[in-house]
Structure formats: structure tokens, C-alpha cells
Structure 1
């Protein structure tokens, strides 16, 4: 039997109306924060980044595809991965439906990863996705926008992710250590998802999820915004739905799988 409170319809309605006031306040606060994002200063992108795309080689300017704004999702798919991160794959399941709307609102959209384009294309076909996906290998784009890191950073100075510096990992000989990624809500995420991508936890955790925004004005590209970790929650469709389900996220471990893997045991 459930231990949750049981009430009358009148009691439920009174509690729901009280909650509604808080939800409205949160919505207004969210609108305020969206405006503050737009008011951040722009930083000119001086480096000439190159990407591998289906049509060949492309510059950052080319990713705009004639539009003035560009949104990039930093998809965790490193060169050593055999498959994309399950969490990023869950987020990406919602991309196809929004691309047309963004593109018709003067906003280009791309996923970007460090894996070679052949790997990305094969995984994209497996998942049935159609959104644009570019490979940034072997350039600095992911590193410069805090989405990829080196072993030297991981074990030496520590990774600076989500505007905070993480403590270095113990020496590599300590096989019992597994890095924790802040965006994961369960401590076993790096181990479970690392195995799922065909890598070890440390290799898996050298890639990180994020979103970055750019604007093209008078021929110059400017970086306007980046968010990481829990800053991506609002873009994650399944969590937005679970937050409205009776038991919420209800996570006791790294449960998420790629959409074609559920029911496989």
C-alpha cells in the first residue's frame, strides 16, 4: 500500500492552487533569466575552427547555413567511443522535431562531437536521427568550449567544467576510482555509461555535455552563451516529463539506455 498522502478532491485542489502560484513565480523567474542570457556580452571567436560534415569540410561560419544564430549541442561521443553516450542520446531523441522550427526562426542547430564523422554517421543511422551532426576532430572546438579534456588535465591540474575546477583523479594505477560527472544524478553513471560506450570510466568522462550559442554579425562570429551539467535539464525532454509524473525521476541508479536498448536485459 502506498505511503503517500491521500486526500479529497477539495484538498487536492487547494494544494494544487498553492503550487500553481509557485509554478507561476518560477515561470516569471525563468523569463527573467532568459532575458539575462540575451544580455550577456558577446565574445568574438578569433580561432578558425574546422569541422567535418556530410558535405565535406566546414568552418564555424558555415554551420550557420545562412542564419544569424547558431545553437550547438556538445554530444558526448569521443574518438575512442564505440557508441554515443546514453544520456546524450536521450536528449538527442528530441532534436529532430525542433530543427525545422529553429531553422525557420533564424537559428541553425548542430550536434558536435570529437568522434570521426564515419562513427557519428553510423550511430545516427542506428538511432534513426536526421539532425545535423558535425565532427570537430582533430581541432580545438570542444576543448575551447569546455566539452572535452585531456588525460593530463584529468589526472594533473583537474578538469574545469561548468565553470568549476574538479579535483584531479587519483593516479591511473588506482583502478578502483571512477570520476563523477556533475550532470549525472547517480554516482555509478561514469562506470555504467563508460562501459556502454565501450570505454573505461575515465575515458568516458573526458567528454562532457553542454550547449553553446553563437551569433554571426557583419561577417564575425561571437560566442554568446554556454551551459553544462544541470544547466541542460530544460532541454532534456524525458526529465521534463518525469518531473510531472507521480514518482518524479525516481532514480536509484544509471537507468537510462539508448532507445533501442530497452528490454534487452
Structure 2
């Protein structure tokens, strides 16, 4: 270990936790686990409350530029009911232009899971910036990013609170009507990237039967819809073998939970 690692970046000595026996370590882990499980339940409850937030109608027609030309906000849904739209800063005046997008926005982009899993839950993820499509295409190829990424051409960023800072807006499509359902930025926005975190900010959630959702919301058996990202087929029945595997896993989890100390 180098001296800098031993002393920390500041050069000061690190105040390390005590070294204990495996039994004492396990006891400490179990004690922390109680709080972690409480946090998980609180997070689920917060997501349930988020699914009951009121909506606001989007009355203005917004235009973007995509790889194939002009597209509307409605087009960005790609026929799905939910749209997650992240405002990334990549444009003249942004540090790194034109070789790079904003460092923070680039870290978010690096963390985005394969969008096929979101698509399988009737959800589309799109990034939006003011850079021309030629620059966006070049940047995506250089950085290995594959999510849809469009160019803002009007007041969308100002109207939805993302003209001066990053943020994620969530929309729901009912026929051709569009509603804004949620918005998150700052520290809340930095956790985005994983499939579950994205779904938890949508009005429909993860759409699994364990969730506390309003009556009539779409829900399917837990785990059963999961698939390899190159194997999703619209309206396909869950794979029978995977159902067996996930059922066995759920049974083992329930048995373990039943034996937990109160």
C-alpha cells in the first residue's frame, strides 16, 4: 500500500474501523441490515406515493431533431406509454465541447443500463441536448452510448426546469395526450441509470404484483418478465424454465424471511 493510500488523499492518517472476529462482523452486519431493510421499505412506500402524484397536461407542441429529422414530444415515446427524458448538457459553451459533453452528464450516460429492459416495461428513455445531431452521433460513437439522444430546438428545456441544470422529466401518454408526471434533479438525479431507479420514478412503477399501485394499474408476476436484453419479444409469455427458477428463488426467500428474528 502506498503512503497516500495509507494516509488518505489529504495526507492525514485515516481513522479506520476496528478489526474484529468473523462472528462480531456478522453481528454488526445484521444490526445494520435492520436499518437497510427499513430504508428499502421506506423507498418502496415513497415510490408508491409518487405513483399517486397528480399529473399536469402538456399543452404546448415541442419539436426536437432526431437522427432521422424533426420529431415531436409525442414521437419520442416510440409508441410506449411512458417517457423518461434526461436533459444532458452537450452544446457550445459547455466545458468539453465539442469533444465531450458535461462531465457530470457523461457520468450519468455511462451508468445507463440497457434500455431494452425499460422498453419491456412500456417505457422509453431519451437524452436531449442542444448540440446538433452530427455532434451527438459522433459523441455517442466515441463514448459507446446507445440510448436515443435528440436535439432541443425550442423552449422545452426552459419550460421544464432544465435550461441551466441537468434534470429528468417523466411523461405519460394517453392516446395523443401527454402529461408530465414527475421531475427530479440535483442529488435525486445522480442516482439515475439503473433500470429499477428509472422505473421507480414512472407513474406505472415496476409493474410487478408486490407494488402498492392504484387500482387498475398494469402489473405482472414478480421476476417473470425479466429477460436477456436481446431476447424480449412483445406480448410473449414468460419462459417456463425461468418461471421455475424464479419460483424456486422466491420460495427460498420466503422461507429465509420466515426464520428471521423479529
TM-score by length of 2: 0.64
> Could you say which residue in structure 2 is the equivalent of 1:142?
157
> Could you say which residue in structure 2 is the equivalent of 1:61?
74
1:18-76 per-position Cα deviation (integer Å, ceiling 9, x unaligned): 10000000000000111111111110001110000001100000000011110111112
Q: 1:90 touches 1:236 (CA, 8 Å); kept in 2? A: no
> Could you say which residue in structure 1 is the equivalent of 2:174?
217
Q: 1-side partners of 2:43 and 2:114: how far apart?
A: 20
Q: 1:114 touches 1:142 (CA, 8 Å); kept in 2? A: no
Q: 2-side partners of 1:103 and 1:39: how far apart?
A: 22
Q: 1:74 touches 1:113 (CA, 8 Å); kept in 2? A: yes
Q: 1-side partners of 2:121 and 2:175: how far apart?
A: 19
> Could you say which residue in structure 2 is the equivalent of 1:76?
89
Pairwise mapping of residues 159-198 of structure 1 onto structure 2 (< 5 A)? none
Q: Which runs of 5+ in 1 are unaligned?
A: 149-205, 241-265
Match among 225, 233, 249 for residue 190 of structure 2: 233
Shift of 1:236: 5.1
Q: 2-side partners of 1:117 and 1:79: how far apart?
A: 13
Match among 134, 148, 171 for residue 118 of structure 1: 134
Q: 1-side partners of 2:158 and 2:132: how far apart?
A: 16
Shift of 1:87: 1.6
SS at match of 2:48: helix
Runs of at least 4 residues off by over 4 Å: none
Q: 2-side partners of 1:108 and 1:42: how far apart?
A: 18
1:165-219 per-position Cα deviation (integer Å, ceiling 9, x unaligned): xxxxxxxxxxxxxxxxxxxxxxxxxxxxxxxxxxxxxxxxx3x111110000032
Q: 1-side partners of 2:46 and 2:127: how far apart?
A: 24
Structure label with greater radius of gyration: 2
> Could you say which residue in structure 2 is the equivalent of 1:90?
107
Q: 2:167 touches 2:189 (CA, 8 Å); kept in 1? A: yes
TM-score by length of 1: 0.64
Shift of 1:14: 1.2
SS at match of 2:91: coil
Match among 15, 30, 48 for residue 43 of structure 2: 30
Q: Which runs of 5+ in 2 are unaligned?
A: 1-5, 7-13, 198-262
Q: 1-side partners of 2:15 and 2:176: how far apart?
A: 61
Q: Name the Cα RMSD after superposition.
A: 1.7
Q: 1:73 touches 1:212 (CA, 8 Å); kept in 2? A: yes
